[in-house]
Amino acid sequence: MKPAGTRVKPDTKVRLSKWDPDDTGILGKEKNGARARLVEHGTRLETLQELLYAEGKHKLLIVLQAMDTAGKDSTIRHVFRGVDPLGVRVTCFKAPTPRELSRDFLWRVHQHVPGAGEIGIFNRSHYEDVLITRVNGWTDAAECKRRYRQINDFERMLTETGTTILKFYLHISKDEQKKRLEARRDTPEKQWKFLPDDLVVREQWDDYMKAYEAALSATSTAHAPWHVIPANSKLARNLMVSSLLIAALEKLKMRYPRPANGVAGTLIV
C-alpha cells in the first residue's frame, strides 16, 4: 500500500504555508467510496495489531501534534475504532507536575513508550517542550536547539531498540479552527470542551506556526520522520493517517509465532 500524506525529508526547511490543509486528493471522486476504504483500513489495522501483539518483537509509537481542534482525539477514535484496546495505549501529556519538572524533560515521556507487541499513541508529546515553552518564552533559542538534539537522540535510541516511530502533524487552517471553535461554543454537548485558554493560544497562531516549522525542520529524521497531514477534511485526515500506519506495519513483515508441538492434533474433551 502506497503511503499517503506528506513526509518531511531530513534537513528540510519547513514552510507550512506550502502545504494545503484543504488537500483532499486521497478521497477521490466518491466520498462514500472513501468512507468504505476507511472501514477496510480499520479491518486491516485490526489484523496487523493482533499480529504485532502475537509476534511480540516490534513496537510502534505514534506521535500526534496539532493546534487545538485539529482532531487528535477524533483521529484516534476513528482510525483505531476496531483495534483491540488491550494492545494500544494512549498517553496524553498535560502540564508537567512539580516532580516531573525536577527531572529532565524526557523523563516522564520515556515511561510511556510502548513495549514489545504494543502500539503507543502520544496525544501531544515531548514536542510540547519545544513548542509551548518556546512560544511563551520559557526557553530560549539555545535551550530549544539542545532539546531538538536530545529528542533526536532519544528517538534514535528507541528505533535502535525495535520501535517504529511515526509522527503526524495535523495541519488545519486558522479559518477552519475558527469554524470548529464556534461549533464548540454553539453546541451544548460540546461546550464543555470550549476553554478561554483556547482563544489565548489562537492569538499566538503565527508564533506557533513558526515554532512548529522549526521543530519539524530540526526533528524529521530518517529514523523518525514527520508527516504533515492536511486536516481540514476529517475523512481525508483519517484516511491518510491509517494508510501510513498500515504501510509501516506491513513493512515489518511480521509473522505469527510457531505453535507449540502437537497443537494441531491435540484432543479436546
pLDDT of residue 196: 85
Q: What are phi and psi for residue 11, nearest 5 degrees?
A: 60, 30
Query: Domain 6-175+206-251, CATH 3.40.30.10 — does that match?
Result: no
- Give the chain's residues under pLDDT 50: 1-5
pLDDT of residue 265: 66
| pTM reported for the whole predicted model | 0.93
pLDDT tens-digit map of 13-47: 999 999 999 999 999 877 788 999 999 999 999 99
pLDDT of residue 262: 67
Domain locations in the chain?
Answer: 6-175+206-251
